[in-house]
Structure formats: C-alpha cells, structure tokens
C-alpha cells in the first residue's frame, strides 16, 4: 500500500520538494556561523528543533498528545551529563547513554499511558513527568536546584575537541540533520502510514488487523528516544543538566513549538522551535512577560491558526495554484 | 501520635481541596468534554479576589466566599463564550491546549503584578483559635474547611444526582442533541456549568487563602496533582471524585508521616498502580 502512495506523481513531486527544502535548510544552517549568526543560539534552537520534531512524530503523526515530554529531554540530559562528568565517558558515548535512558523510560511510560486515550493520555503523561520532576529534585546525583554543572564537552571519538565552538556546532548540526532525516524516513515508511491510519480511525485500523497498541507504543518509544537525543546533546552543548529541562513548562514549550510551526508537518516543528527560541532570547529581559506572551501565542494558535506556520503556508500555496 | 494526627489533618485539608477541584473538573468534563487546564489559575484567582476584597476594600472572608466564586465564575463564562465555544466541533485536545495557554497568561499577569512571594490572608476572627481534643490540637479554621468543603461537595452531588436540574445536566452529558430537541437550552447550560465549575475552584481558592499564602503560582503545581486524582478516580462519577479526593489527601498525609521523602510523589505512584490494574479509574467507565 505504501509503495503505491509514494510512487504516484504528486507524491514524487512532494518528495522532491521535500529533499530540496532539506538541502536548503542544511546549507543555510551550515553557513550560519560563518556569516556571523551567533552559533550558541543556533545550537540551542537546533536542540529544541530536534525535540519538537520528536514530539511531532507522536502528536502530528500518531495523534497522541503527550504533556510530559520534558521527562525524556531531562532524563537524557541528566544521564548524559553524569556519564560525561563522573564517569569521564567521551561525548558520543555519553549522548548515546542518555538517549538510551530516555528510550527505556519511554518504553515504561508509554506502556502505561497508551492504556488511556485522548485527554487522559495527556493527563497521565503530565502526571508521570511531574513524578519524575520530584524524583530528580530529591535524588542526590542531580544536585537538586543547582543541576549538574561544568559538564566537560570532551573529545568526540577521543579525537575532536568539542571545546572548539565550530567543532561543537557542526557536531550538533550533524546530529540534528541525521535525526531529521531519520524522522522523515519513519513518517514515510509503512510503519508511518499505519500510524497515520490509527490516528485517523483507530477502530478501523484494528479491524484491518493492525495491533494499534503496539504501533502506538513503538511511536512513543521512538519519540522519547529522539527527544532524549535532543536532551543529551543539549547537556553537552551547554555543559549543564538542570531541573528546567524536566519541569512541566518545558513540556508545554515543546507543544507550543509544534503547534506554532504546524503539527503533522515535517518542517513545522523546526520553524516553531526557531521562532520560540528567538522570541525567548529577545524577551529575556522582560521577566514574566515571556510567560504571558507564550500563553497568548498558544491561545491565538488554537483559536485562529490551528494549522501553524507551515500548515497555513502549504494551504495558501495549494489555494494559489488552483 | 500528635504528629500522626497532625499529618492526617493536613491530609484531610489537602483532600478537601483535591475533592473540590476534581469535582469541578469532572462536572466541566462531563458536559464540555474539555479538561480545564486553567482550573489551577482560577483557584488562585479566587484567593486573590478574597485578598483584594480584604486589603483594598476592607470586605471580609464571609462576603468573599460568595463574591469571589461569582467574579471568577463570570470570567469563566466570558472565556467559555468567547473562546471555548468555538472549539466544541474540533478535537478535544484543542480545549486542553487553549486552557493551558490561558493558564500561562493568567499566571504570568498575576506574577507581574504581585511578584512570586506569598501574600498573607488573615483567618476571620470567628474561626480563630483551636480546640484541644486531648490527642491533638485542632485549629478551628481547619476543621471549618473540611466541614465546609464536605457540605459543598455533597450539595453538588445532591443537585446533580437527585434534582430535576441535575437530571437535565446528566441527560445532556449523555446526548446533548436529544436534550436540545426536547427544548432545553443546552448551550446556555454548558456556559453555566463551566461557570459553576470555575466558581467551585474559586471557592476552594478563598478557603485556601488563610491556610496557604496567596501566591500567583499556588494553583500551578496543584492542578497537576488534581489531574492525577482525576485519572485515579475516573471522571464518570461525582461521588467517586469526592471520595478519591479526600482519600488521596489522607494517603498523602500518612505518607508524610511514615515516609516523608515520597510525599510529593505518592499520588502519582497510586495513579500508576491504578492504571496498571484498572485503567478506567476506580469509579470510571471506559468511554
């Protein structure tokens, strides 16, 4: 079934457009630090873009709204930071370990949360994430309010010194692009098609013989793992793993990025993440107004702008052509 | 022994707030199919209205008990009419996202205005002092909160389960189109139900004001615990929400006494266990 879809004429055109857009994105990001855009900003945005893409895999294509994705970002960050700092692992191993930890947590939480649907699913993930927050607050290895500070960036594969900002930047970019292509691949695989079918009509997918729960769990674990990759990378970049990343506001933020960029679109979460991170660094001096503005964007998106930036652009493009 | 009873009392008080808040959430969810994420912010607004009445206008606690729910409920009605009403035909998740955004806006505005440190609110003179029961000291205000919230909860239960108005409400929960066909104004009923649920949260906020400090974020973490309470109880039954709320408050109090490290997480742990064995919740039914 999937092959007939991808080989049709408009689908092939869409795929070509997609590949061109990805290439453009990769080139723009690759030259960004050379032309003087602050690399730390882009690295931060890239980590959140990956986080949002991972989240979008679950919400946009699986129809599952997790309100606790901060637990995967934060868990991976803590594990990665601890492994790099206390065990002296090289950065790639620390990142892998953190990612794996997030995936394992995702398997446990996912198995629990998919027992309920819709709103309950959101509340359960939120509650479990809050439990993890208190766990990290109390357990000694995370150093509570201080977090794990001064995490060494180390040498990638024991060779490349990530203390060099350019080395760090291109490492983050490579991780992001690989994960982005991986997510694209998942979405356009037979697995992704079944996932969309379950999102549209779960009883029908079940009646066609698909084990919906298994597909949903797999999607949940994949999403958690990729969110973990973002969190672990972020810990190495900022040399810090802190409670901010496990707090529920972070879960809300990733929902917002995805909603603003366009859920269920490939590029939406990336654009949403860049916009939100830019907005936050721009408004950093305004204190609590950030919360008010973030909340207002939520409200506006839901009321007037449900397809998000990329979704609206795509709809406009379709209208303009016909 | 003193400490045990003390923790039990605190547990009952927390339970009273869980019960009132989860009751409001359940009533709203029943009719609107929306989980109201602003519930915590509205609880906080109730406390602030009481604080404002007392410090700025010199109006005391008893009037605030009546005025705060009406004011905050009216704000709720406006939110329902202007925003939520546009979302009923869409996926229910949009209601959750909208109310989450609103909660951020409200809490942010209050923090801008009042900072994040708590503002004190005096216990009304009639309820000051305490009773020595021999095995423990019982502050009168705390006893009042437990009794008052029980009365509020049971009255709500009675109205919904035993009166004609309640029967309309329950019927509209099952099948709004049919109830509307019988000539009942369902949209107005939805609006008033939302206002009532929000008012209940504000009432809880007024009652909480003298116990906890009045703080812009007092509802932010509480609402997540209340969500867990709702998942544990299941939203199908009004009495179920009340029992689960009080029960979990007591469980939390006992945990504080026997194993304080886990007191923050015990309700979430209970939720996990309930989900494993009874996914629909203790009093819920699968929808």
Burial class (CB in 10 A: 0-12, 13-18, 19+), B58: exposed
Burial class (CB in 10 A: 0-12, 13-18, 19+), B79: buried
Nearest C-alpha of chain B: how many angstroms from A29?
A: 31
Write out the two tokens for B252.
């939390």
Q: Is the ipTM of this complex over 0.90?
A: no
Query: What is the sign, positive or negative, of the torsion defined by CA atoms of A133, A134, A135, A136?
Result: positive
Closest Cβ opposite residue B272 in set A112, A119, A306: A112
Kindly determine whether residue B265 and residue A135, on different chains, have CB atoms separated by under 8 Å: yes
pLDDT (tens digit per residue) in A216-269: 999 999 999 999 999 999 999 999 999 989 999 899 999 999 999 998 889 999
pLDDT at B173: 81
Mention the CATH class of domain A2-321.
mainly alpha
Query: Cα angle at B154 between B153 and B155, to 5 degrees?
Result: 90
pLDDT at A4: 45
Give, for B138, the enclosing helix (H) or strand (E).
strand B137-139
Look at the block and give the residue holding tokens 């830019």: A278
pLDDT (tens digit per residue) in B234-280: 877 788 888 999 999 999 999 988 888 888 888 888 888 888 888 88
CATH architecture designation of domain B2-113+135-277 = Orthogonal Bundle (1.10)
Kindly determine whether residue A127 and residue B224, on different chains, have CB atoms separated by under 8 Å: yes
Kindly determine whether residue A131 and residue B90, on different chains, have CB atoms separated by under 8 Å: no
pLDDT at A44: 92
User: Please, are residues A254 and A70 in contact by the beta-carbon 8 Å criterion?
Assistant: yes
Q: What average pLDDT does the segment A47-64 reach?
A: 93
Write out the two tokens for A143.
């150093």
Residues 6+ apart with CB under 8 A from A50: A175, A176, A179, A180, A226, A229, A230, A233
pLDDT at A233: 94
Residues in chain B closer than 8 A to A134 (CB atoms): 264-265, 268
Residues in chain A closer than 8 A to B33 (CB atoms): 119
Kindly determine whether residue B275 and residue A131, on different chains, have CB atoms separated by under 8 Å: no
Q: What average pLDDT does the segment A121-132 reach?
A: 90
Residues in chain B closer than 8 A to A123 (CB atoms): 35, 227-228, 230-231
Closest Cβ opposite residue A124 in set B29, B221, B275: B275
Nearest C-alpha of chain A: how many angstroms from B9?
A: 23
The domain spans of chain B are: 2-113+135-277
CA distances B86 to A302, B90, B104, B105, B187, Å, are: 10, 8, 20, 19, 12
pLDDT at A7: 54
pLDDT at B285: 66
CA–CA distance, A97 with A233 (Å, rounded to integer)? 11
pLDDT (tens digit per residue) in B184-212: 888 888 899 999 999 999 999 999 999 88
For chain B, what percent of residues have pLDDT higher than 90? 32
User: Please, what is the average pLDDT of chain A?
Assistant: 89
Whether pLDDT at B26 is above 50:
yes
Kindly determine whether residue A122 and residue B93, on different chains, have CB atoms separated by under 8 Å: yes
Look at the block and give the residue holding tokens 């923050």: B264
Look at B51 and A1; give whichever has higher pLDDT. Answer: B51
The domain spans of chain A are: 2-321
CA–CA distance, A291 with A253 (Å, rounded to integer)? 10
Closest Cβ opposite residue A126 in set B104, B224, B276: B224
Residues in chain A closer than 8 A to B269 (CB atoms): 131
């Amino acid at each position: 079934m999937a092959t007939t879809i991808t080989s049709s004429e408009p689908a092939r055109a869409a795929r070509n457009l997609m590949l061109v857009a990805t290439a453009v994105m990769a080139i723009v990001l690759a030259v960004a630090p050379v032309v003087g855009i602050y690399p730390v900003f882009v690295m931060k945005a890239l980590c959140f873009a990956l986080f949002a893409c991972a989240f979008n895999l679950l919400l946009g294509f699986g129809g599952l709204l997790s309100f606790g994705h901060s637990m995967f970002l934060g868990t991976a960050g803590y594990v990665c930071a601890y492994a790099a700092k206390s065990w002296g692992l090289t950065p790639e191993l620390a990142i892998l370990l953190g990612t794996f930890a997030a995936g394992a947590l995702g398997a446990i939480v996912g198995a629990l949360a998919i027992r309920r649907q819709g709103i309950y699913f959101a509340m359960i993930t939120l509650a479990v994430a809050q439990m993890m927050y208190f766990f990290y607050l109390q357990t000694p290895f995370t150093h509570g309010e201080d977090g794990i500070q001064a995490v060494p960036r180390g040498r990638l594969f024991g060779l490349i010194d990530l203390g060099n900002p350019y080395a760090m930047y291109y490492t983050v970019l490579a991780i992001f692009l690989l994960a982005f292509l991986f997510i694209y691949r998942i979405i356009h695989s037979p697995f992704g098609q079944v996932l969309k079918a379950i999102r549209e009509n779960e009883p029908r997918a079940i009646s066609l013989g698909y084990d919906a729960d298994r597909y949903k769990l797999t999607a949940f674990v994949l999403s958690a793992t990729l969110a973990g990759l973002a969190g672990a990378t972020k810990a190495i970049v900022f040399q810090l793993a802190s409670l901010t990343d496990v707090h529920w506001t972070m879960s809300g933020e990733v929902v917002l990025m995805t909603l603003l960029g366009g859920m269920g679109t490939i590029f939406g979460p990336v654009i949403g993440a860049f916009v939100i991170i830019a907005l936050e660094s721009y408004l950093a001096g305004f204190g609590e107004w950030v919360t008010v503005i973030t909340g207002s964007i939520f409200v506006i998106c839901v009321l007037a702008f449900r397809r998000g930036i990329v979704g609206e652009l795509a709809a406009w493009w379709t209208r303009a052509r016909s | 022994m003193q400490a045990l009873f003390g923790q039990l009392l605190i547990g009952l008080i927390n339970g009273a707030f869980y019960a009132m808040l989860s009751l409001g959430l359940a009533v709203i969810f029943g009719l609107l199919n929306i989980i109201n994420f602003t519930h915590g912010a509205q609880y906080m607004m109730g406390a602030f209205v009481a604080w404002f009445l007392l410090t700025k206008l010199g109006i005391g606690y008893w009037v605030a008990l009546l005025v705060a729910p009406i004011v905050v409920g009216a704000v709720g009605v406006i939110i329902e009419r202007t925003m939520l009403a546009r979302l009923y035909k869409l996926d229910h998740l949009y209601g959750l996202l909208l109310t989450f955004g609103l909660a951020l806006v409200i809490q942010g505005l209050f923090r801008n205005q009042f900072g994040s440190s708590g503002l004190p609110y005096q216990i009304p003179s009639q309820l000051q002092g305490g009773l020595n029961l021999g095995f423990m000291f019982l502050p009168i205000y705390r006893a009042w909160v437990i009794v008052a919230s029980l009365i509020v909860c049971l009255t709500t239960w009675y109205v919904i389960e035993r009166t004609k108005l309640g029967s309309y409400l329950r019927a509209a929960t099952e099948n709004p189109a049919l109830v509307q066909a019988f000539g009942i104004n369902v949209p107005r009923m939805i609006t008033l139900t939302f206002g009532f649920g929000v008012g209940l949260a504000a009432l809880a906020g007024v009652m909480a004001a003298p116990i906890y400090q009045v703080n812009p974020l007092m509802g932010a973490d509480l609402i997540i615990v209340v969500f867990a309470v709702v998942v544990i109880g299941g939203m199908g039954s009004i009495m179920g929400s009340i029992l689960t709320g009080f029960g979990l408050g007591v469980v939390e109090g006992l945990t504080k006494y026997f194993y304080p490290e886990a007191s923050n997480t015990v309700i979430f742990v209970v939720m996990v266990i309930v989900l494993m064995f009874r996914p629909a919740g203790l009093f819920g039914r699968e929808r």
